[in-house]
Amino acid sequence: MNANLAPSLPHVVIIGGGFGGLAAARGLRNAPVRVTLIDRRNHHLFQPLLYQVATAALSAPDIAAPIRQILRRQKNCTVLLDEAVSVDTETNTLQLSESTLNFDTLVVAAGATNHWFGKSDWAPNAPGLKSLEDALDIRRRVLSAYESAEKAGTEEARRQWLTFVVIGAGPTGVEMAGALSEIARTTLARNFRNFNPLDARVILVEGASRVLGAFPESLSASALRQLQSIGVEVRLNTLVSSLDESGVVLGEERIDARTIVWAAGVRAEPLVATVGATTDRMGRATVNEHCQVPAHPNIFVIGDAAHFEQGGSPLPGVAPVALQQGAHVAHVIRNQLANRPTRPFVYFDKGSMATIGRSRAVAMTGVGTLWPRTEPTFKFTGTLAWLAWLFVHVLVLVDFRNRAAVVAEWAWAWVTYQRSARVILDHGPRR
Amino acid sequence: MNANLAPSLPHVVIIGGGFGGLAAARGLRNAPVRVTLIDRRNHHLFQPLLYQVATAALSAPDIAAPIRQILRRQKNCTVLLDEAVSVDTETNTLQLSESTLNFDTLVVAAGATNHWFGKSDWAPNAPGLKSLEDALDIRRRVLSAYESAEKAGTEEARRQWLTFVVIGAGPTGVEMAGALSEIARTTLARNFRNFNPLDARVILVEGASRVLGAFPESLSASALRQLQSIGVEVRLNTLVSSLDESGVVLGEERIDARTIVWAAGVRAEPLVATVGATTDRMGRATVNEHCQVPAHPNIFVIGDAAHFEQGGSPLPGVAPVALQQGAHVAHVIRNQLANRPTRPFVYFDKGSMATIGRSRAVAMTGVGTLWPRTEPTFKFTGTLAWLAWLFVHVLVLVDFRNRAAVVAEWAWAWVTYQRSARVILDHGPRR
């Protein structure tokens, strides 16, 4: 593809320009290989802040950067906007939407997609939050619900529009619920004439016995208290038995609600099923200690697409895992070309954090913590945790190219309680 | 609609939350009336910067603010997100999408929409630029064209993807062409492996004998030189005879181009035809010296929806006209309620400006200039005009709520030659 490189160099194809794919590409920048990175979107997405786009705090471009701009100086790398459909492990060929691509080595960093666990008919009424389009869709629904409430003919109809249900209390669900509560409590104050935005209800539904199940119990308890302090109704040990466009049924109880957000699960992209590995319940490919497919060692799977066991427990689907695995895979490829061995991959867990609206959060870290997690050395809650969250994300974002604007947005939003992206974009057919 | 106001107060209904509608609403804030402002979008749009969204320099929310947030402190005003369909002048009723609204006084500030002058089949291949959705559509087309060029199988196909045609050389067309040239010359440098973005062609087509026909001839000539200096091919005295998805025919000459932007004309919204006034070629309602429909003096039409003659010449469709007319109409309504006369409306022309890419522009102003225009007192070109443009727009934007972020984006973009909104958002069907 790249006219400047000798075609005799080994061809490494990377699927996905997320944290894992980019780390792999960057790790190969001085290696004697041709790299082709395929993504069906033109942008790398800073997924940890996606909920802020969904809740109108940031605009879509604030958390997205063009992949080819990020890699523009890496001469041995070509970026293609295309869809990777399937892998042929016999011929070492990748099927794209309209063409095929031969590879010597393949790195599958295709990420995860929303998953309704057999209830795909729930999808239209309970959208998930994995892409910018998802986030803009949820933003449109949330803002439109308040508009419809202003026009509602009956109190009952208004109550339906002012009820928001978030399903799943992992970090995404907790952050969504916190932000939705904030919108009602501060952002929209005095904006309406026929109701008070404070009348809005935000309900967070979780099947397990606590929120933020991946965190220590004391932090889960703190997160629960913080959510309740800003008015979020948390329903633990509660399963959704059905849902439709006007509400959810929790066990036996029906809750009328026009806006439902799905944060209860994801699965690997379907392409992952074609790499010749065994897959787990979430569609992830089981890989060995170098993130290789055991039957096809020239195929690596990393990040949310991979099932990698460490200490008997699979690694979580978070950005640091993908980043570290991407770097590791690049290391393995470079070592293979130089006939050097590589030590097995080990995930180094720096910690976790989740925000709960304005000035509230939980966070933990422990020096030198490996996976699976033991009790973390440092735990924070409340404002201190929120400042830690802010500090880490500001640092990462400022590194993430020109995101000084995001910091300006945040500072302004914090001072004024406002959200700068309160725009309903019409996604209907256009003239 | 508004539960807090006595229903006996006169009801003023305003259609449109653009510059004119907002000015009218604000002008009525202390008047003894109930105000209802209807808009089919939730946001006021800063239209003069729309081309910057279309060319990936700004994100959509940067130039949009929620109408109800702007008017939140105005207790006598209710904002409704709805579509105004038609006016019944017999019963003083406004038909909305699913309901009707009675008015005592109506202010039609519905603005303009894209118009292909009888060639509506050109619309899908030559989108106009009037709404945020339009801008995001054009942004997607422009960025996707470069992606397709990278994948193109033949040089001919690549050339088609790298040819951009802008039809119409008014301010919007000139600004679009300048920004498109800048994208090719600076933003995308080193981003592609199979071509040099400098190979892109930007062609600006104009039927008249000069660009920026509303400006003095010397400024038109300067704008032409500035456009040519950044590589824009300007075709004057040239009419488009046909166009399709892969090119345009200019007179007899066919130019293969995959991206075409329509900046050649707008017309008033169809609703304006129902207010009982005579309409001009552009669908605008002819109004009297107070912006009233002569046959129905309780109906006012302002801004791009109105044909208002001053000194024998209709006022142009620019923001200052709408702003001044909106304020005037509020003044008339207040005076009527107090049985006071009002002096006829007179447009005060502060000047005009248009940018041509980075650091280039034309601008003019004259102290106390009325319409129609005479030779302006002050004319600027080049960097000085660009600084004047920047100064005015920074001032207005900072006033326009929290747009400090826009200024940060601009400063960063100017220093780095980058555009922060290079995101292709998928508008296809979603799961």
Q: Determine, for residues A193 and B78 on separate chains, whether the beta-carbon distance falls below 8 Å.
A: yes
Residue B63: what pLDDT? 85
If you write DSSP's letter for every residue of B162-204 in order, what string do you get? TEEEEE--SHHHHHHHHHHHHIIIIITTT--SSS-GGG-EEEE
Residue A417: what pLDDT? 67
In which residue are the tokens 């966070």 written?
A363
Mean pLDDT, residues A126-150 taken together: 94
pLDDT > 90? residue A426:
no
Q: Determine, for residues A136 and B425 on separate chains, whether the beta-carbon distance falls below 8 Å.
A: yes
CA–CA gap between residue A136 and residue A427 (Å, rounded):
9
Contact call for residues A132 and B423 (beta carbons, < 8 A) = yes
pLDDT > 90? residue A412:
no
Q: Determine, for residues B422 and A1 on separate chains, whether the beta-carbon distance falls below 8 Å.
A: no
Residue numbers in A near B147 (CB within 8 A): 42, 81
Residue A378: what pLDDT? 87
**Pick from B1, B59, B430: which is nearest to A59 by CB?**
B59
Q: What is the 3-state secondary structure (H, E, C) of chain A?
A: CCCCCCCCCCEEEEECCCHHHHHHHHHCCCCCCEEEEEECCCEEECHHHHHHHHCCCCCHHHHEEEHHHHCCCCCCEEEEECCEEEEECCCCEEEECCCEEECCEEEECCCEEECCCCCHHHCCCCCCCCCHHHHHHHHHHHHHHHHHHHHCCCHHHHHHHCEEEEECCCHHHHHHHHHHHHHHHHHCCCCCCCCCHHHCEEEEECCCCCCCCCCCHHHHHHHHHHHHHCCEEEECCCCEEEEECCEEEECCEEEECCEEEECCCEEECHHHHHCCCCECCCCCEECCCCCEECCEEEEEECHHHEECEECCEECCCCHHHHHHHHHHHHHHHHHHHCCCCCCCCCCECCCEEEECCCCCEEEEECCCCECCCCCCCEEEEHHHHHHHHHHHHHHHHHHCCCCHHHHHHHHHHHHHCCCCCCCCCCCCCCC
Residue A422: what pLDDT? 75
Query: What is the band of B403 on the pLDDT scale with cuts at 50, 70, 90?
Result: low
**Looking at the complex, does the CB of residue B417 fall below 8 Å from at least one CB of chain A?**
no
Burial A314-349 (b: 16+ CB within 10 A, else e): bbbbbbbbbbbbbbbbbbbbbebeeeeeeeebebeb
**Looking at the complex, does the CB of residue B68 fall below 8 Å from at least one CB of chain A?**
yes
Residue A401: what pLDDT? 53
Query: What is the band of B429 on the pLDDT scale with cuts at 50, 70, 90?
Result: very low
pLDDT > 60? residue A403:
no
**Looking at the complex, does the CB of residue A115 fall below 8 Å from at least one CB of chain B?**
no
Contacts of A201 (CB under 8 A, 6+ apart): A162, A163, A164, A233
Residue from B183, B205, B149 nearest B55 by CA:
B183
Question: B171-182 vs B217-229: helix axis angle to the nearest 10?
Answer: 20
Residue A226: what pLDDT? 96
Mean pLDDT, residues B151-170 taken together: 96
For residue B381, the distance in angstroms to the closest alpha carbon of chain A comes to 30
Q: Determine, for residues B408 and A412 on separate chains, whether the beta-carbon distance falls below 8 Å.
A: no
CA–CA gap between residue A35 and residue A1 (Å, rounded):
10
Q: List domains and CATH numbers for chain A.
A: 11-115+266-337 (3.50.50.60), 120-264+351-416 (3.50.50.100)
Q: Determine, for residues A59 and B62 on separate chains, whether the beta-carbon distance falls below 8 Å.
A: yes
A144 token code pair: 């439109």
DSSP-derived 3-state class of residue B391: helix
Residue from B203, B205, B209 nearest B184 by CA:
B203
**Over chain B, what is the mean pLDDT?**
90
Query: What is the band of A409 on the pLDDT scale with cuts at 50, 70, 90?
Result: low
**Pick from B1, B420, B423: which is nearest to A132 by CB?**
B423
Beta bridge partners of A96: A84
**How confident is the model over A238-281, as pLDDT tens digits?**
999 999 999 999 989 999 999 999 999 899 999 999 999 999 99
Q: Report how far Cα A312 is from the mean position of its chain's Cα atoms.
A: 24
What is the phi-psi region of residue B343: left when phi exceeds 0, alpha when psi lies from -120 to 50, beta otherwise?
beta
Residue numbers in B near A417 (CB within 8 A): none
Contacts of B6 (CB under 8 A, 6+ apart): none
Choose the weakest-confidence range: A112-121, A373-382, B154-163: A373-382
Residue B59: what pLDDT? 85
Residue A428: what pLDDT? 42
DSSP-derived 3-state class of residue B395: helix
Mean pLDDT, residues B185-214 taken together: 94
Q: Determine, for residues B72 and A133 on separate chains, whether the beta-carbon distance falls below 8 Å.
A: no
B329 token code pair: 């109409």
A193 token code pair: 């004439």
Residue from A301, A330, A307 nearest A84 by CA:
A301
**How confident is the model over A345-376, as pLDDT tens digits?**
999 988 889 999 878 999 998 766 778 877 77
Catalytic residue list of B: 175
The bridge status of strand A93-96 relative to strand A100-102 is antiparallel
CA–CA gap between residue B354 and residue B168 (Å, rounded):
14
**Looking at the complex, does the CB of residue A60 fall below 8 Å from at least one CB of chain B?**
yes
Contact call for residues A212 and A362 (beta carbons, < 8 A) = yes
Q: Using the 8-state DSSP alphabet, how is residue B269 labeled?
A: -
What is the phi-psi region of residue A337: left when phi exceeds 0, alpha when psi lies from -120 to 50, beta otherwise?
alpha
pLDDT > 80? residue A7:
no
Residue B357: what pLDDT? 82
Residue A387: what pLDDT? 87
φ and ψ at residue B269, rounded to 5 degrees: -60, 145
Contact call for residues A280 and A336 (beta carbons, < 8 A) = no
CA–CA gap between residue A73 and residue A77 (Å, rounded):
9
The burial of A4, by beta-carbon neighbours within 10 Å (0-12 exposed, 13-18 middle, 19 or more buried), is given as: exposed
The ipTM (two decimal places) reads 0.84
Q: Give the DSSP H/E element, type plus range, for residue B6.
A: none
Mean pLDDT, residues B190-216 taken together: 94
What CA–CA distances, in Å, run from B419 to A22, A319, B51, B143, B200?
Answer: 21, 26, 13, 12, 18
**Looking at the complex, does the CB of residue A418 fall below 8 Å from at least one CB of chain B?**
yes
Query: What is the band of B430 on the pLDDT scale with cuts at 50, 70, 90?
Result: very low
Q: Determine, for residues B431 and A62 on separate chains, whether the beta-carbon distance falls below 8 Å.
A: no
**Over chain A, what is the mean pLDDT?**
90
Q: State the Cα torsion A273-A276-A277-A281 to the nearest 10°.
A: 20
**How confident is the model over A168-217, as pLDDT tens digits?**
999 999 999 999 999 998 889 889 999 999 999 999 999 999 999 989 99
Mean pLDDT, residues B399-426 taken together: 66
Residue B70: what pLDDT? 87
Contacts of A364 (CB under 8 A, 6+ apart): A215, A216, A219, A351, A352, A353, A376, A378, A379, A380
Query: Does B372 sit behind a cis peptide bond, omega within 30 degrees of 0 on the bond before it?
Result: yes
pLDDT > 60? residue A431:
no
Residue A175 a catalytic site member: yes
Contacts of B76 (CB under 8 A, 6+ apart): B2, B5, B9, B28, B29, B31, B33, B34, B35
**Pick from A43, A82, A402: which is nearest to B423 by CB?**
A43
Question: B404-416 vs A404-416: helix axis angle to the nearest 10?
Answer: 170
For residue A69, the distance in angstroms to the closest alpha carbon of chain B comes to 6
Residue numbers in A near B134 (CB within 8 A): 430
Q: Determine, for residues B412 and A402 on separate chains, whether the beta-carbon distance falls below 8 Å.
A: yes
| Number of CB atoms found within 10 A of residue A150's CB | 20
- Name, of A409-423, B53-67, B266-280, B413-427, the range with top average pLDDT: B266-280
DSSP-derived 3-state class of residue B427: coil
Q: Using the 8-state DSSP alphabet, how is residue B339 labeled?
A: T
Q: Determine, for residues B73 and A123 on separate chains, whether the beta-carbon distance falls below 8 Å.
A: no
Q: What share of chain B is helix, strand, coil (3-state, %, to 5)?
A: 35, 25, 40
Q: Report how far Cα B260 is from the mean position of its chain's Cα atoms.
A: 18
Residue B428: what pLDDT? 42
For residue B400, the distance in angstroms to the closest alpha carbon of chain A comes to 12
Query: What is the band of A1 on the pLDDT scale with cuts at 50, 70, 90?
Result: very low
Residue numbers in B near A79 (CB within 8 A): 150
CA atoms A294, A296, A299, A301: torsion sign: negative
- Name, of B112-121, B162-171, B182-191, B392-401, the range with top average pLDDT: B162-171
CA–CA gap between residue B415 and residue B413 (Å, rounded):
5
pLDDT > 70? residue B318:
yes
**Pick from B78, B123, B132: which is nearest to A423 by CB?**
B132
Residue B350: what pLDDT? 86
Residue B408: what pLDDT? 65
| Number of CB atoms found within 10 A of residue A18's CB | 26
The burial of B30, by beta-carbon neighbours within 10 Å (0-12 exposed, 13-18 middle, 19 or more buried), is given as: exposed
- Each as own residue / partner, the long-range contacts of residues A378-385 (CB below 8 Å, 24 or more positions apart, any chain) are A378/A351, A379/A216, A379/A218, A379/A219, A381/A219, A381/A222, A381/A223, A381/A226, A382/A222, A382/A226, A383/A359, A385/A353, A385/A360, A385/A361
CA–CA gap between residue B354 and residue B371 (Å, rounded):
19
Strands, E assignment, B190-246: 201-205, 232-235, 240-244
Residue B431: what pLDDT? 28
For residue A157, the distance in angstroms to the closest alpha carbon of chain B comes to 16
Residue from A19, A18, A15 nearest A37 by CA:
A15
Instruction: Count the alpha carbons within 13 Å of B180 in the hemisphere toward its beta carbon.
Output: 34
CA atoms A189, A191, A193, A196: torsion sign: negative
Q: A333 or A63: which carries more pLDDT confidence?
A: A333
Mean pLDDT, residues B266-272 taken together: 96
The bridge status of strand B163-167 relative to strand A309-310 is unpaired
For residue A58, the distance in angstroms to the closest alpha carbon of chain B comes to 8
pLDDT > 70? residue B109:
yes
Choose the weakest-confidence range: A76-85, A95-104, A360-369, B418-427: B418-427
A385 token code pair: 């945790």
Residue A189: what pLDDT? 85
